[in-house]
Structure 1
Amino acid sequence: MAIDMANVDQNTTKSKRQMAIKSAVAAAFTELQSYVMKNEFFQNMDEQNSLEKNLRVYYDMLTHYVSGPVHNKLSQRLESIKTKDATKYTCDLTNYLWKATERVILSIYLFKNPNVSAYDILIQTNEADKSTSEPDVATKWIFLLACFFGHVLNESASVCAQNGIDFGKISSFFAVLDKVAIAASSTENKQLRVLCMDLLRLTLIRVKLNSVPMKYELDENLTIHIIERCRDKVAMVRSHSVTALGYLQGISKMQDDIRDEMIRLANTDPSRHVRMTALDALVMTKDVFELVRNRLRDTDEEVRQTMYQSLCSTTFLITDLPLKERLFILDQGLQDHNTRVIEACENVILKKWLPDCDSDTIKVLRALDIELRPKTAEKVAQLLVRNDANEQRIKQSKGTNPGISSPGIIFLESLRTGNTSAITVEHAYYWRHECEHYSSEMIVNDDGTNECNQRREEHKRLLIPTILDYIEILERLCQADNTNNISAGNLDSSIRPFIALQALHVGHFLDLHDEFGKNKLLVLLRNLLCDFRVDSTLICDLVDLSSRVVGSDSGDRFLQNVMEIIADLCDQRNKQSQENVENEENEFLNEERAQAALRFEELERKLEDVEIESIEFSHIQNEMLGLETLLQDPCILIWLRTLEIIVQMLRIPGLDYLKSMLTEVRSIIVPAIESDVLAIREQGMLCFGLLALLDRHSASQYLGIFWHAIRSEVEDRDIKIICIKSVFDIMLCYPGLKPQYDADLKVNKLDSDSTTTNLDELDINSNTSNFLLELAQYIYHEDPEVQELVVEGFAKLAVFGRVRMVGILAALLDVYFSNTTASSDGTVTESRVPQILAVFFEQLGSRKHTQSTMRSSECLLSFLEEAVGYWIRRWINQNGLKVSNSSNTRQFSGVDPTTLMKFAMHHLDHTDKDKVGSDQKQCAHQNRIGINITIDIIALYSVMGLNSNPTQSSKQVNGSLKELYRCLAVSGGSCVEERSAVLFCGLLREVIKHSTNLVSSIPSFARVVDLERALSESLGCVEELLEADIHKTDLAWAHEQIIERTQQLNDQVQKSHSNHSNKAKKRTNRRATILSEPDSDVSMDGGTSESDCDNTEDTPLSQRRTGSMRKSKDDAKIKIQVNSAGSFQDSDGSLLEYLDSDQSSDDQSA
């Protein structure tokens, strides 16, 4: 009851306030009319534009405004002048409305006096009102002016004519609008600029809706001023400006300027609201899409969603876009982590692309080339199937009761009858996903009836064949000979493997209660696996279907069947080997194969110069396929098939292998890794990788094999990639494992203290650390795929607690902030490394997985803290003092230390983390990083004092000092650890005392001073704390570190001076030699430069790479492989220089 009374009182108060405002408006109108009649400025007005009618229009507008939805907003503005005295409140309100109305009326008739500008009136009215500040008066004036313009332009033609206003004279309002825009947009008051652009936006909306014509001069002026406001520093001003430009697109003559500015804002504006507004306002043509396509990968999810919404209203068809662009749109949208972006992408398919294809799902799939991107095509097919099922359900609910028909049902009927017109790749793909959809759990209607389920069961019965029909279909599709082909071989042989693959997927939805049909299907699957003429791409699905038919509870029976198949294939291989020996004596066959080999090589060379989409390319490829069949060795094919079956068997989880089975499998795998055939070695290494995951002893035994292959200079790139994957899988399953091999690892070992303190608990010994350090060389590898594998592998090892090596984490930080997407030839590649590391560092700093994935109870962020400190010291040694040699040391590729520090501080801040435990809330990573930086700064000052050539050393040190001061200013401080905070504060004071005039002038030094002052205030009695014994002990330790660090840096500077002197001597000697030659025509300027001298001695010759291109029936696209001797050797220097023993063990004692 009390609540109801409160609502009544609130409504009554609101009603009284509305009546008070309406009364004030009426009083203001009367007072305004009296004032205008006495003012000479409004005398002798045209009868057609009588003042009475114009004032009546304005009065109606104002009354509508204060009683409409904007009432609450106006009431809030007037709340500041409301008092307990109702009479005074009404009086103040009347005065306020009178002043605002006067300014609006003056603006309306401004065009009558061209000598007076809008800016002059604005200044005069501001000066006349001494009680109110300039921004408030101008803001209210513009605000009410916008309301008036909106009211006038919203009126229909008949109403305007009735009130004495016609659209022919609305250009006068545009003139006022232009002058107001010029005056108000140049002010420094951001609120005034916002309202000014809001006025333009609202006015142009009405102009476009009512098709109000504008003169070219006004159009050009407005466009120029709006584009100028698009560069405003206030995001809301830019947002209103880009909206106004959007409404000028259809009526302005400056279309190119408007489009270019909107594209610029959509791509480069830092505000997500501005980018969203620009994308929403753009007319999305094909050319515009090519310029803003990267917004599909925008960092903000709402911008990505807006981009997909804009694609729904495009003016071009799906077929107008190249295939690459269609797949790019779907890849980015359907794989997005945000559900709203996924829904927006699905709407593009259903509401734009499907109608473009005449609502034909098969045409949509055909436009996407489902064989090129299987994952994307799978999601599209599932979406289309769900949409088709929903449409049929809607039709049924409306009582239309349509017949059951779908592309999948038509395809199955064509398979039975042999009608090849409907047997296409798209039909088969849709059939598979339709079977998967209707085989899922039944859905009951809301009214409780089972009518929908009955129709669903009927649809399922028509889609999925019986087991005997399925055996007949599968036998026709998979048989190698063409005698049993559908319609006597009318089906294209190039699409038969794909259709057979879809049929094998449908086999998982069969009704297996028929034991006779089940046994018959097992016999067929076994025969297909033993027949080496059956396409090898079907092996994986044949083995999976065999496992499904046998059943999950009959693992022993499945293993027995697979081992029998392997034994049969081994017998075929032995028999085929004997036939090969007999055929070698046949001179006719040998001569025919020799000619075929020569012809194949000739066609392969010719294929490299032919365009892929040409007819000649298809003819050459078909001829090569025929020659390839003739040249194939059946013995090699059988061996390869055996290994592929073993791989698929080992991938099935939950099987209990007998020792005799594994022994037999090893006897087949061991010869495979020593084969001269690349494909055999690849499958052999893959088998070893899967076998190694079965037990720890096998993993330790095979790890040396993988490491030997990775380090080999002659091994193929694909095999090395398989070995890298296997190594990381083994390290994840069995932490602390080391390879068993005899070769010594020649590495620069990290200090034992450079890692965190729980190495024994993680069972990582020194040999394992050395092994991981050598593997970490490939973090900087030139091949993007190799780099992605290694970075992802180490990220997984770190997240799951398998390795905690500070140097490796520092290398991952360096790669994340360096430009690693550019290859050696200058081409830019799309690398997944930044995305992988972004997820990794976010997971590392979340601390949610502390108890589940890490056996150590200490804060995980200390791992990142140590890595940041180590990275900074390596940066000083390599980049800061410029002492490294580019031929043997990996340089930091333009990484900004300040940027890296900001990133690290964001993740090291505990304030935004989830509260896991009280021990983790008392971490002050900022203090420890700051202590290390201050030690480095003081050490650098000491180096400048020790050096005999202070001028030369200061040039090297000052650059490092500036960067370190920036990093120190970013690091901040925390008082949650009082001991480290006191030490940090004391070292900050020493840094400030050591500062030079050059450093003191930089802005970051002032921030360091502010940091010291804020830390001292937070600590309270800082002087007493600094005099404590424990602080003196800590300070003594810090000075020991400073002395040690000074010696290290001084050695680096001396080394730099020595290298510089040697280079100068070489240049002097070379110039002297050139001048001493009497007949020499070479001038001194034409001598070899310093860089040339350095390269001749220090830089090795770049390795030569050769590319081989192979087109075959298994590849849908060209694959360029880089094969070279030593392609995995780091020619630019190894990570071991980056992970050297420079890291001090005392970093962690702080």
Structure 2
Amino acid sequence: MDAEWTLTLREVFQDVQLQAVEASGYLRNPSGVAHQRTLVPAVRRLNTLFNDEVKDGKRGVVEEAFVLFLDEIWLAMARVLVAPKVSDVVLLAVASFVGEFLRRTSNKSKELKGKDELRMELLKRLMDATKAEDRAVRLRACHMLQIVVNRLEYIEEELETQLKATMLKRLNDKLTSVRIQSIYGLKNLQNPVEDEEDEVTQELRKLMVSDPSKDVRKAALLNLTVSKKLYQDLLIRIRDASEDVRYAAFRTIGSSMPLEDIPISDRAHLLDQGLQDRAARVRRACEQMVLKKWFPECDSSPVLLLKALDIEQYPEIGSKVSRLLLKHFSEQPRALLEKEGVVEFNALDMMSQNSDAFNAESIFFWREQCYYYQKIDNDPDKAAALVPNVSGFSKMLVATCKAESDVLFIAQQLLEFGHLLDFQDEFGRRNLLDALQKLLREIDTDSQLIKGIMELMAFVYSGSSEQEFIQVVAEVISDMYDPVEVGNQDVSASQQEDSEVSSSQQDTSTEDETTGLSFGPQLRKLSDEDREAAEAKFEELEKHLETLEFDSEEYNKVQAEMVALEALLQDPRVLSWLRCLEIVAQLLKLTSHNLSDPIVDGMSRYILPAIDSDVPALREAGLENLGLFCLLDKRLAERYLIVFWRALNNPEEESEVKHTCVQSILDMAFSFTNLQPHIFGTKLAEDTGDNEEEKDERGNDTESQETSKEGDKSDDRDGDNSGDKDKAEDEDMEKDDEAEPVVGVEKLDLDTIFVGLGQLISVDDVDLQSTIVEGFCRLFMMNRIDNITVLAILLETYFSPKLQKVQKQSEHGFQSRSLQLLSIFFPAFVMATSANCMLLEEAATHLIQKSMEKLQMESDSMLDLGACSKYVMHLLNHNEQEEVAAIQTSRKKRAKMPERRRCAHHNRIGITICLEMLALEKVAAMASIHHDVVISRQKALLKMIAWVEVTLDEQRSAALFKYLLQEITTSCFDSQRGLLRSAEAVLKRTSASYSEQSTEQSEDQTTALEHDQSWAHDLVKEREEVLHKVLLKASADHEKWLKKQEREKKAQRRRNARYVSSGSSDSSDSESDEEGDEEPDTAPARRELSSRRSKTAAVSRMHEKEGEFDARIKQALQADDADEEDEEEWDDEDSESESEGDDESDAEEEDGEEEEGDDDE
């Protein structure tokens, strides 16, 4: 009887498996409705069988039938688990079938009695199967368990706890597929809303962030329940190394995060990364997030979407989104767009109908529409309907530029819009140019608009004549710069006028006293009384601002009033000069003319005096203009390079000025080859000599510019004159130097400049650091620099511990830009040429030697030499590079096979490390050298040499490397057995590799090895002398540190002993008091005090004891302070005695040397 229904149960499972094999719909659509329909007949048959055979009416279930039913179901599942070969569709079908049978929608739903126990027992057996040692069984059990669990819409609390514990253990499984199935099983067991510290969610977050497998990270990302707390971790995954993970990240964010819940900065970051991702499917996922999710949430309005992206702060993102929307509009039929609620946006019509539509977003999208239809879609009809006429545009532009600062962004967009206009209308073109000139002349025009105004003017004049553009701009600059003297009727010659203007600009500090000068027609000068009142008002507002709450309404009001007063108090001449320099800078950027144009050459009269100004803003603008001016001619760059170098080394100079100097120096190095800066000055006894030299140089520079103007007719003649002028300048400088008290002559070369720039790389100023690093990377790739020291500095920067900690340059968890640049630079640099490999080898050698010469080897700022050596050896190992090159050439059939690089970088770097070890061993045997100082260096060298792989491409270096290793194992590490074993292991590995590659040595090789050995011993002696000086000082510092540690320990012990003694004295006093009270009371005393009075006496006695204890504690603390002062005095005496002892020892050594000399005589 039992056999009949058990056979029916087995037939049900067999039918499910057979149907799964015949139709693979399970695998194609595992969670769809079609998949569930295929299981409905089998589930109905199994439920009928359970109801007929296992259920026993109202009494529940038949125990024997229940056990047999459970065993039969488990047997069918176990066969799938342990079978040698099982198709995925079979496992999926069986697991889905069991899950559908055991499913319960809620705790109130009606189901057959006994199913709870059946579900509990089956899941427990599956959970036990996940612990199997066989990886296939463990994987199938996890897979089946997660399918069954995800089918259950309701799980009892006890069962849920057991499932969590089981699957969380599987998250650490060594098999990637097991971890993935466990992640899917934990998807519905998360509860981040009720419990922010949900264990499942935290474990999935860890896997999403740190698991080495991209499939595991992707699975964790897809199954993680996104919340505001986990949103930032999810945001970092859009920069994952795997394309699949990035794609999943955008899909998850687009489906689970509404636009209003994402901060504006994160919206811009998402679009910036997604719309320019290197993978097309990732870019498409980001586009779909914008078009299908964000755009409908903004009521299908481009203006509202742009407003949500804050285009004033992120205009580039706004341009990408606008063009994406316009592309979407052009590809979709108009009827479909109207059905979706999307209507094409005509900003021109909307602004003409409603003045309130004139806002930043509408103007921005208007410009993007015109650009798209003109440049990208090439639809002239739509473009013509949107672009206004030039005259109307001019009026709109002037009105906007003269408005308040809140429409500054609109003015900038209109200036960019001007490049899309049709300038065939000559009348409108002239009106626009006149309006732009007036805007340039007005000081009230915002400085941020100068660039746009100049670019639009250059664009308009590009159709006619660039010379006319330069002449017009020069007239504007001259009118704003030159002072207008009241009553001046004499007009001197042009050369005299230029010299007068230059001399007047050099004496800007004394111009405050002149009363007959007026800079600019738009400026008004305050009277002394008004200026004093304004200054007093400004100070009063500044004090009041400190008492207000930040960003409150009153705070913003007071701050706006302070800004207005500050603008009123500014010197009109300084403002006019700054405006001139801003215009000159844009002219130098936009013009293609060089110094052969006298107007361009005359721009120096506005630039050079600004460098000597006391106003930092003028000085910074002057240096920026001088850097642009020097890019026009190599001789100017060589002449004025000293100006940037001195400003860069001035400790009182502001950081913005130094940043400008660095950028200018790097631009000159990019633009010109073989720069030879002039010999500069001398080291004078007083610092004032530098300023005089700079003035002399600038005076000579103006003379050279005048001669260059006279010689414009003949280029060859001009070059000869300038060369003679340079010689004359050098002779004049030498004469001046002879008249001054000279300490020494110093020459400025490019290597000195580059090393100085390399020393400016610091973590404190990240922007300056990234600028210098990027400049050096470009110079090395352009073969403009081959300085080993600079390359070693870059290598040290890449492994700097401080820089490694600077991981978050923004809220999105990026590394610093310097690390990103260097991670790309070094592999590309080594792959470029073999000469670059030699440079990297020499830089590594230099870095090793300089690291050994540092006083502290175990400080936090010390780089990881082991990691650095591993990276360098990997770069200089050309085997992998040859494999990559072979793959690339195999794809290109006609390309020639790359020649194998025969190099011995590993051998030579290994030789350097061995020489350092031998020198350290000899220094360690000397007196006054602490062993800890030597051992720390030896450990670092052993970590580095472990990555060296000997090669016989250069037999001499390989033989010498092997010999030096043998010397190290025989003569070094006598007291350090652990270090000796490490060295012996390196020697054993090297000898084995050497014997595999080596052939019989000839007599010439033996002779060469002897010469190399003597050369190595000479180098060891040289390094011994250098390291001895360093280690002497390092040992002295280490001894002081040890003494300080010992004194601190002694002071702590004394302090502890004093507290213990004070406590024991208190206890002894109390005991003696008690004994003293007991001695006279040999006979029973008569009770004289009442209970109330005796209690009062006891309390007073307790207070007295507390007072005595407090007094003793104070005495102990005072004694401690006195001891510390004595210790400090003792330390000072020790340091003085040590210094005196050192002086005496030096004197004794000198006396001893003199006596030895006398004896020799």
TM-score normalised to structure 1 length? 0.71
Work out whether residues 483 and 517 of structure 2, in 8 Å CA contact, stay in contact via their aligned partners in 1. no
Equivalence for 2:364: 429
Equivalence for 2:716: none
Does 2:130 correspond to 1:169?
no
Deviates further, 690-699 or 659-668: 659-668
* Cα distance in structure 1, aligned partners of 2:634 and 2:517: 42
Q: Which is bigger in relative contact order (C-alpha 8 A, separation at least 6)?
A: 1
Work out whether residues 232 and 812 of structure 2, in 8 Å CA contact, stay in contact via their aligned partners in 1. no
- Secondary structure of the structure 1 residue equivalent to 2:423: coil
* Cα distance in structure 2, aligned partners of 1:1093 and 1:969: 45
Work out whether residues 982 and 1025 of structure 1, in 8 Å CA contact, stay in contact via their aligned partners in 2. no
Equivalence for 2:958: 981
| Counterpart pick for 1:555 among 444, 466, 470 | 466
Does 2:206 correspond to 1:264?
yes
Equivalence for 2:533: 595
Work out whether residues 464 and 510 of structure 1, in 8 Å CA contact, stay in contact via their aligned partners in 2. yes
Alignment of 1:672-1071 (within 5 A): 672-740=610-678, 742-743=680-681, 767-780=749-762, 782-821=764-803, 834-846=816-828, 850=832, 858-878=834-854, 893-913=861-881, 915=885, 921-944=901-924, 946-948=925-927, 952-953=930-931, 955-994=932-971, 996=973, 998-1000=976-978, 1008-1009=986-987, 1011-1021=989-999, 1028-1060=1006-1038
How far the C-alpha of 1:906 sits from its partner, in A, is 2.8
| Counterpart pick for 1:360 among 294, 301, 304 | 301
Equivalence for 2:6: 51
Residue by residue over 1:878-909, the C-alpha shift from the partner in whole angstroms, topping out at 9 and shown as x without a partner, is: 26767xxxxxxxx7724222211222223223
**Amino acid in structure 2 at the alignment position of 1:222:** L
How far the C-alpha of 1:1036 sits from its partner, in A, is 3.3
| Counterpart pick for 1:60 among 4, 15, 22 | 15
* Cα distance in structure 2, aligned partners of 1:582 and 1:878: 59
Equivalence for 1:1110: none
**Amino acid in structure 1 at the alignment position of 2:773:** V
CA 835–681 in structure 1, closer or farther in 2 if over 3 Å, else same: closer
Alignment of 1:453-602 (within 5 A): 456-479=379-402, 493-551=404-462, 554-571=465-482, 578=516, 589-602=527-540
CA 405–990 in structure 1, closer or farther in 2 if over 3 Å, else same: same
* Cα distance in structure 2, aligned partners of 1:345 and 1:430: 20
- Secondary structure of the structure 2 residue equivalent to 1:287: coil
Does 2:245 correspond to 1:322?
no
How far the C-alpha of 1:740 sits from its partner, in A, is 3.7
Work out whether residues 478 and 500 of structure 1, in 8 Å CA contact, stay in contact via their aligned partners in 2. yes
Residue by residue over 1:466-487, the C-alpha shift from the partner in whole angstroms, topping out at 9 and shown as x without a partner, is: 122212222322346xxxxxxx
Work out whether residues 532 and 641 of structure 1, in 8 Å CA contact, stay in contact via their aligned partners in 2. yes
* Cα distance in structure 2, aligned partners of 1:792 and 1:472: 44
How far the C-alpha of 1:795 sits from its partner, in A, is 2.2
* Cα distance in structure 1, aligned partners of 2:340 and 2:97: 52
**Amino acid in structure 1 at the alignment position of 2:143:** D
Equivalence for 1:313: 255
* Cα distance in structure 2, aligned partners of 1:725 and 1:606: 40
How far the C-alpha of 1:278 sits from its partner, in A, is 0.9
CA 802–522 in structure 1, closer or farther in 2 if over 3 Å, else same: same
* Cα distance in structure 2, aligned partners of 1:720 and 1:587: 33
Deviates further, 52-61 or 253-262: 253-262
* Cα distance in structure 2, aligned partners of 1:362 and 1:175: 60
Work out whether residues 296 and 308 of structure 1, in 8 Å CA contact, stay in contact via their aligned partners in 2. yes
Residue by residue over 1:482-505, the C-alpha shift from the partner in whole angstroms, topping out at 9 and shown as x without a partner, is: xxxxxxxxxxx3333221211111
* Cα distance in structure 1, aligned partners of 2:194 and 2:526: 79
Residue by residue over 1:853-888, the C-alpha shift from the partner in whole angstroms, topping out at 9 and shown as x without a partner, is: xxxx64312222222222222223326767xxxxxx
How far the C-alpha of 1:298 sits from its partner, in A, is 3.5
Equivalence for 1:1101: none
Equivalence for 1:101: none
How far the C-alpha of 1:215 sits from its partner, in A, is 2.4
Residue by residue over 1:607-634, the C-alpha shift from the partner in whole angstroms, topping out at 9 and shown as x without a partner, is: 4554553212321233224324433444
Work out whether residues 643 and 684 of structure 1, in 8 Å CA contact, stay in contact via their aligned partners in 2. yes
CA 559–962 in structure 1, closer or farther in 2 if over 3 Å, else same: same
* Cα distance in structure 2, aligned partners of 1:181 and 1:831: 38
* Cα distance in structure 2, aligned partners of 1:1069 and 1:249: 56
**Amino acid in structure 1 at the alignment position of 2:144:** L
* Cα distance in structure 1, aligned partners of 2:972 and 2:68: 62
Work out whether residues 201 and 240 of structure 1, in 8 Å CA contact, stay in contact via their aligned partners in 2. yes
* Cα distance in structure 1, aligned partners of 2:475 and 2:519: 26
Equivalence for 1:224: 165
* Cα distance in structure 2, aligned partners of 1:1018 and 1:582: 84
How far the C-alpha of 1:176 sits from its partner, in A, is 2.8
Q: How many residues align?
A: 925
Work out whether residues 26 and 93 of structure 2, in 8 Å CA contact, stay in contact via their aligned partners in 1. no
Equivalence for 1:409: 348
CA 875–273 in structure 1, closer or farther in 2 if over 3 Å, else same: farther
- Secondary structure of the structure 1 residue equivalent to 2:422: coil
Percent same amino acid at aligned positions? 28
Equivalence for 1:619: 557
Alignment of 1:202-213 (within 5 A): 202-205=147-150, 207=151, 211=153, 213=154
**Amino acid in structure 2 at the alignment position of 1:947:** M
* Cα distance in structure 1, aligned partners of 2:341 and 2:122: 63
Residue by residue over 1:13-50, the C-alpha shift from the partner in whole angstroms, topping out at 9 and shown as x without a partner, is: xxxxxxxxxxxxxxxxxxxxxxxxxxxxxx858x9xx2
* Cα distance in structure 2, aligned partners of 1:546 and 1:634: 26
TM-score normalised to structure 2 length? 0.71
- Secondary structure of the structure 1 residue equivalent to 2:155: coil
How far the C-alpha of 1:1061 sits from its partner, in A, is 5.3
CA 261–981 in structure 1, closer or farther in 2 if over 3 Å, else same: same
How far the C-alpha of 1:349 sits from its partner, in A, is 2.6
| Counterpart pick for 1:153 among 79, 88, 99 | 99
Work out whether residues 229 and 241 of structure 1, in 8 Å CA contact, stay in contact via their aligned partners in 2. yes
Work out whether residues 986 and 1026 of structure 1, in 8 Å CA contact, stay in contact via their aligned partners in 2. no
| Long gaps (5+) in structure 2 | 29-61, 105-110, 487-513, 685-745, 886-895, 1055-1115, 1137-1161
**Amino acid in structure 1 at the alignment position of 2:420:** F
CA 560–937 in structure 1, closer or farther in 2 if over 3 Å, else same: same
| Long gaps (5+) in structure 1 | 1-42, 74-108, 127-133, 159-164, 444-455, 481-492, 747-763, 851-856, 883-890, 1098-1150
- Secondary structure of the structure 2 residue equivalent to 1:526: helix
- Secondary structure of the structure 2 residue equivalent to 1:285: coil
- Secondary structure of the structure 2 residue equivalent to 1:273: helix
Residue by residue over 1:1083-1126, the C-alpha shift from the partner in whole angstroms, topping out at 9 and shown as x without a partner, is: 545665799979999xxxxxxxxxxxxxxxxxxxxxxxxxxxxx
CA 404–330 in structure 1, closer or farther in 2 if over 3 Å, else same: closer
Work out whether residues 812 and 837 of structure 1, in 8 Å CA contact, stay in contact via their aligned partners in 2. no
| Counterpart pick for 2:318 among 377, 386, 405 | 377
Residue by residue over 1:698-729, the C-alpha shift from the partner in whole angstroms, topping out at 9 and shown as x without a partner, is: 11122111112111222222112111110111
| Counterpart pick for 2:227 among 285, 297, 306 | 285
